[in-house]
Amino acid sequence: MKRILNRRTAYLACTALLIASAVSFPQWVSGQPVLDADTLASPSNVTPLPANFSYNWGDYTNHSARKAYSIGTRLSANNNLVLRFEVRPGDRASFDPETKDRSEATDLVTFPKSEVIWNAYRVKIADGFSIPSDKHSWFIVGQWHGSKNDKRPPYIAAEVYGTDLVFRRRYILNGKPTSSEVYRMHNVPRGTWLNIVMEHKVSATDGLLNIWLNGRQVVNFNGPLGYWDHDEAGYWKFGIYRSHEDVDAVVEYRDVVTTAENLTKRAMATN
C-alpha cells in the first residue's frame, strides 16, 4: 500500500468516513485488520498490537518478531496513550538478517519531496540496560527513509550511542550516501521522557533540518539533505532498530505526529 498525503488530509478523510457512517471497523490493509491502539490501550497492562494498527489518525505496520511483548499499547497514570517497544536477543522482523534486532512501527504515509515535513515524538529509554558504544554497534530510535525499496541507511536518524543521543543526516555525495553528525546529547537519562521535534525538507541544494530537544533548538541546518533521486521525500519509522545484542531493550513513545502542519508550539514544550 502506498499513499502520498499529510496528516491533515488523513484526518479529513477519516472524519468524512465517520460522518458518512459507511465504513465498518476494523479496516483492512494487505488482508490484515487495522486495530486502533487507543481502543486497545489499558491502564492495567500492555496490550499487544497486531500486524497493522492505527494511531493518531495514521496507519502503521508492525515490523518486529511479532511476540506478545514486541509492540504494545498502554495508558499511563496520567491517561496518556503510550506505545511500548521491546526486543530480546534474536528478535527481528521476517525480512531481517541475524545481525539485526528490530521492533518498529512503520508509517504507511509517504511525503512528497517538495513538502516541508514536521515530525514530533516523546521517547523514553527504559532503565536497566546498556547500549554498546563500539564502532560496530548501533541503536536507532527514530528514522526517515527515502523509499520502501531503498536499502540505503536512513537520511535522518536519532541514534543512541553509548550514553549519548546522536542525530545524523545523510545526503548524496558523488553518487553515494554520506553521513554527518548534526547534534549529540551527552548522558541521556533513562526512564525520562524526551520531547523531540523535527522540521525537514529533502533537497540537493536547499534542504533544511531543524531539531528541537526539550524545548530548545539544537539544530538549524540548511543545505543538502536526503535522497533526492526518489519521487518522494520519505517515510517515518520508530521503535527499536539495532545491531544484534545479547541484552533486552525497552523504549516507549507517546504523542507521535508526522504532518505538513507547523509544530512550532509543540517544539517549545520542555518535555
How far is residue 136's CA from residue 132's CA, in Å, rounded to a whole number? 9
Strands 71-75 and 109-112: unpaired
Count of Cβ atoms closer than 10 Å to residue 63 Cβ = 22
pLDDT tens, N- to C-terminus, the chain (271 residues): 333 444 444 433 443 333 332 333 344 444 555 678 878 888 889 999 999 999 988 899 999 999 999 999 999 888 889 999 999 999 999 999 999 999 999 999 889 888 999 999 999 998 876 677 776 788 999 999 988 888 899 999 999 988 899 999 999 999 999 999 999 999 998 999 999 999 999 999 999 999 999 999 999 999 999 999 988 888 999 999 999 988 899 999 999 999 999 999 999 998 8
Name the grid cell of 175.
553518487
pLDDT digits (tens, 9 = 90+) for 203-252: 999 999 999 999 999 999 999 999 999 888 889 999 999 999 888 999 99
Residue-wise DSSP of 186-231: SSPPTT--EEEEEEEE-EEEEEEEEEEETTEEEEEEEEEEB-TTSS
Residue 34 confidence (pLDDT): 60
Provide the whole-model pTM.
0.85
Domain ranges of the chain: 3-267
User: Residues 6 or more apart from 39 whose CB is under 8 A from it?
Assistant: none
Which architecture does CATH list for 3-267?
Answer: Sandwich (2.60)
User: How far from 109 is each of 4, 37, 57, 237, CA to CA, in Å?
Assistant: 6, 17, 11, 11
Task: Tell me which long-range contacts 24-28 makes (C-beta under 8 A, separation of at least 24).
Answer: 27/54, 27/59
